[in-house]
Chain A
Amino acid sequence: MAVTLDRETDRQAPESEFPTPYLGRTVRIVGQVENVDTNQMPHPKNSRGELGTALYNWYNNTVSKDPIQRVSSHNHTADKRNVLNAMLSRAEKGKTNARRVPVDDPAAMTRHIKKVAQLFGADIVGIAHSHPAFLYKGNRRYVENLEVGDAHQDETPEELCRKFPYALVFPVAWDYETMQAHRHSIGDASYHLSTQKIHAVIASMVGYIQELGYTVIRGACNPQAVALASGVGELGRNGMIITKKYGARIHLQDAIMTDLPLVPGEPIDIGVEDFCKVCRKCAVTCPTNSISFEGKEVYNGVEKYKIKWLTCYKLRPYTHEHWISCLTCVAVCPYTKPTTWWRDLAVNTLSHTPIPLRPLVVRALKAIDDKFWGVIPQRRVRWLGYDSGIKPGEKVCTVAGCTADHSTHGQAEVGNIGYYYPLKENTNRFVKRA
């Protein structure tokens, strides 16, 4: 389906059944929007071999050397039975309870659903009005590594949005401390273990809403659009949803649609629009130059920062001996900080400053960030016997109190500096091959 969406149209036709969705200050719909085609997304293209042999083999035929990766990354393990989300995808799906729990007060149900999702492990809950523009092209469903289908795939996007007027996301944050060792197997663990958590959260919420007697459609719409419309966060220069509490270190995974009566949220303004104009830390440190230094561009009728996903994606086969996920753009983002009072103070100060004065506040906050956190975090992280102070490719035991006779050798970095490989020097190679 194609829709023309802009604020002007919205003002001219306020009675429209599906008015232009307002997605906050960071993303603006300015023209004709074609629904996202799941077949053109990175993983599906790669699974068909359209991105080259190296990427195809990386995704389908590599087994990680690291046991934590082999239990948390379904496409880098020899035995998928050891990976929870692979098991969840194979499990039989439950049915919707025929005895529906009546909902007299959608606000009370909204509070309940948010509480339940947080008990299951969600760190944020986003509820938005469904919109035909959020749906995938051809009414397809997309959930990575999961064959999903439902009885509503012959319906038009408008029919689907009428039947299931609410779209939800249940973001789960990555652990902050282990994420500091980005471009390292410790950072991979932060990323992939939280992926396992969010799969469990989504499966739990799908099951619970069905038990309440309401239908759930999984994987029908773009989770970033839902996150923006529901107020989970704003879209950053790095192409990530940046949240108030966790910055960019969240998983969205897939959105669900439901007919459970709820009260949707509204887009938020935490100053990402103002910060990303000035900051550019993610663009400076991206090892593949996939993040633009320039302003926003209009792509598919949507004005936003557009990343070069192909160059980002192409890095992976070259590093999989050491780590899987880069995470640099998330780790360096000034919004990605531990959840402390001074972080909240900074974000609240920015979001309560009148917009014309925000560039001044942003420059001050950016200077503080550069001074105390550096341009790129390289803090040494030790976790479960892993140590980011050890040169990639080498093994050495730096665990306090360990007297085991390890048959490996190597050298630990001296001091509190982590070793993150590879650094900026690879940039040109990936740009030329893109």
Chain B
Amino acid sequence: MRLPWLGKPAQEEDPYWDFFLNTAPDDVRNSLVTTIRNAPEGAINPVKEDIHTPEVMARHVKELGAYLGADLVGIARTEREDYPFAVLIAMRAAWDPRASPGIGGQLPLQKGLFVSFVMSAWFREMGYKGTVKEPVDNDALAVRAGMGTLDGDGRLVSPRLGPVYVSDAILTDLPLEADG
């Protein structure tokens, strides 16, 4: 609910808002989503850091995610032996990035990619695997991690934040405590 004396949301009076949200980029290189997705992943540090217990590391992963701007961070156990954990990065999404191809429409995805780039690099620099290049079902893993439930349109709805967009799943072998 919006209080009447606060006026209309800024975007309702913005003649360029629709362009921002809905016009797909003419040159995809102008979108940071493309740039970050195409960036190669760095090497895994051959020297492993002295890490804390899985419960503490899970707490630190969530703390770093929030520090970098993630609205919600979940950890799910996967079925894979090479990457036993998935760290899910979710952002509040007032609009659905799947239906909003503009640079602004992709904003929840872009912000999530920023978090997952830095966090996966942090895993690798600590001497553990960390990749976002493996194809996985982000939403299914997010549900498994207890981040929310899927609505009729297949969007993840968090009990605390409402509709959220799971931008990325970082697969890792860093020992963590899974949620859910």
The residues in B between 63 and 95 inclusive whose CB is less than 8 angstroms from any CB of A are 63-64, 67-69
Evaluate contact between B122 and A71: CB separation under 8 angstroms.
Answer: yes
What is the total number of residues of chain A having a CB less than 8 Å from a CB of chain B? 61
How far in angstroms is the closest Cβ of chain B from A335? 23
> Quick one: closest A residue to B25, CB to CB?
A211
Does A12 count as interface, using CB distance less than 8 angstroms?
Answer: no
How far in angstroms is the closest Cβ of chain B from A197? 8
> Quick one: closest A residue to B175, CB to CB?
A404
> Quick one: closest B residue to A408, CB to CB?
B50
Distance between Cα atoms of A77 and B43 in the complex (Å): 11
Evaluate contact between A99 and B50: CB separation under 8 angstroms.
Answer: no
Of B32, B107, B125, the residue contacting A82 (CB under 8 A) is B125
The residues in B between 9 and 46 inclusive whose CB is less than 8 angstroms from any CB of A are 10-11, 14-17, 19-20, 23, 25-32, 35-36, 38-43, 45
Evaluate contact between B30 and A94: CB separation under 8 angstroms.
Answer: yes
Distance between Cα atoms of A76 and B43 in the complex (Å): 15
How far in angstroms is the closest Cβ of chain A from B167? 14
How far in angstroms is the closest Cβ of chain A from B98? 18
Evaluate contact between A112 and B14: CB separation under 8 angstroms.
Answer: yes
Evaluate contact between B60 and A385: CB separation under 8 angstroms.
Answer: yes
Given contacts A112-B17, A196-B118, A203-B32, contact A81 B41 (CB under 8 A): yes
Q: Which residues of B contact A94 (CB under 8 A)?
A: 25, 27-31
Contact with B along A90-117 (1 / 0, CB 8 A): 0111110111010001001101100110
How far in angstroms is the closest Cβ of chain B from A109? 7
What is the total number of residues of chain B having a CB less than 8 Å from a CB of chain A? 52
Distance between Cα atoms of A349 and B174 in the complex (Å): 51
Distance between Cα atoms of A167 and B107 in the complex (Å): 24
Distance between Cα atoms of A26 and B59 in the complex (Å): 45
Given contacts A82-B121, A105-B15, A112-B14, contact A401 B55 (CB under 8 A): yes
Does B126 count as interface, using CB distance less than 8 angstroms?
Answer: yes
Evaluate contact between A71 and B60: CB separation under 8 angstroms.
Answer: no
Does B110 count as interface, using CB distance less than 8 angstroms?
Answer: yes
Given contacts A402-B53, A402-B56, contact A92 B11 (CB under 8 A): no
Contact with B along A396-433 (1 / 0, CB 8 A): 01010111101110000000000000000000000000
Evaluate contact between A208 and B64: CB separation under 8 angstroms.
Answer: no
Does B129 count as interface, using CB distance less than 8 angstroms?
Answer: no
Of B10, B35, B55, B121, the residue contacting A83 (CB under 8 A) is B121
Q: Which residues of A contact B103 (CB under 8 A)?
A: 204, 207-208, 211
Does A383 count as interface, using CB distance less than 8 angstroms?
Answer: yes
Distance between Cα atoms of A193 and B20 in the complex (Å): 27
Q: Which residues of A contact B125 (CB under 8 A)?
A: 67, 70-71, 77, 82
Evaluate contact between B114 and A200: CB separation under 8 angstroms.
Answer: yes
A-B contact pairs, 24 of them (CB 8 A): A72-B118, A82-B125, A84-B118, A87-B36, A87-B39, A87-B117, A88-B35, A91-B39, A94-B25, A95-B26, A109-B16, A115-B10, A119-B107, A175-B67, A193-B67, A196-B114, A208-B20, A208-B103, A210-B30, A211-B23, A384-B60, A384-B63, A404-B52, A406-B50
Top 3 nearest A-B pairs (CB, nearest first) are A207-B30, A94-B30, A82-B42
B interface residues (Cβ-Cβ under 8 A, vs A): 10-11, 14-17, 19-20, 23, 25-32, 35-36, 38-43, 45, 49-53, 55-56, 60, 63-64, 67-69, 103-104, 107, 110-111, 114, 117-118, 121-122, 124-126
